[in-house]
Homo-oligomer: A and B are copies of this chain.
């Protein structure tokens, strides 16, 4: 129950079943509008219209526009944790890296395909204040999880290297996700495979010689 009460001035209202239904309805409408226009360009009136209610009704349930996105993000995050929480759990080092990468990618791609608004909310540099914080929190959570996964294969690497590798993995995943979402059907599947390939090839050398993290290139940097 994601009921929030600010210190002091706003006490929690007792919602009726009708209210809960309206909230769900409004969040669904907001997801649709955010998907097509992005957060900043989405007007609260448009969200209310999409939900088939008046602007006043919307503000009966959300104190402001930001709260809509926050609540939507919270529910999305909760569902992600519930459904795919173990996707990045550390695995037995005996597990082939290829399988671990493939499974993790498949799960996350599936989630993002089912909830396109997640990508819209998490990818916009236009989102203000608190949403950015949530974004950063999620990012950090994912990086930590990936670090754990990498540690399964590289128990003795320096922390800084593992963090960098995890950040790079997450960045590659985001880039791949964008490509996957931009294509359909067979081509989409091909991009999923391409993303797996990229991640696998990036990580595979690390599993072979745990002591030599970054093979320094012979050539000095060009001017």
Asked whether A168 lies within 8 Å of B196 as measured between CB atoms, the reply is: no
How many copies make up the complex?
2
Q: Which of B171, B193, B222 lies in contact with A102, CB distance below 8 A?
A: B222
- The verdict on A20 contacting chain B, using a C-beta distance below 8 Å, is no
Q: Mark A196-223, 1 if CB is under 8 A from B, else 0.
A: 1110011011000000001101010111
Asked whether A168 lies within 8 Å of B194 as measured between CB atoms, the reply is: yes
Which residues of chain B are within 8 angstroms of A190 by Cβ–Cβ distance?
160, 164
Interfacial residues, chain A to chain B (CB-CB below 8 A): 38, 40-41, 96, 98-99, 102-103, 106, 110, 120, 123-126, 160, 164-165, 167-168, 171-172, 174-176, 178-179, 189-198, 201-202, 204-205, 214-215, 217, 219, 221-223
List 17 A-B residue pairs with CB atoms under 8 Å apart, sorted by A's residue number: A38-B126, A40-B41, A102-B219, A102-B222, A106-B221, A124-B126, A126-B126, A160-B190, A168-B194, A168-B198, A171-B176, A171-B178, A189-B223, A194-B214, A197-B215, A201-B202, A202-B202
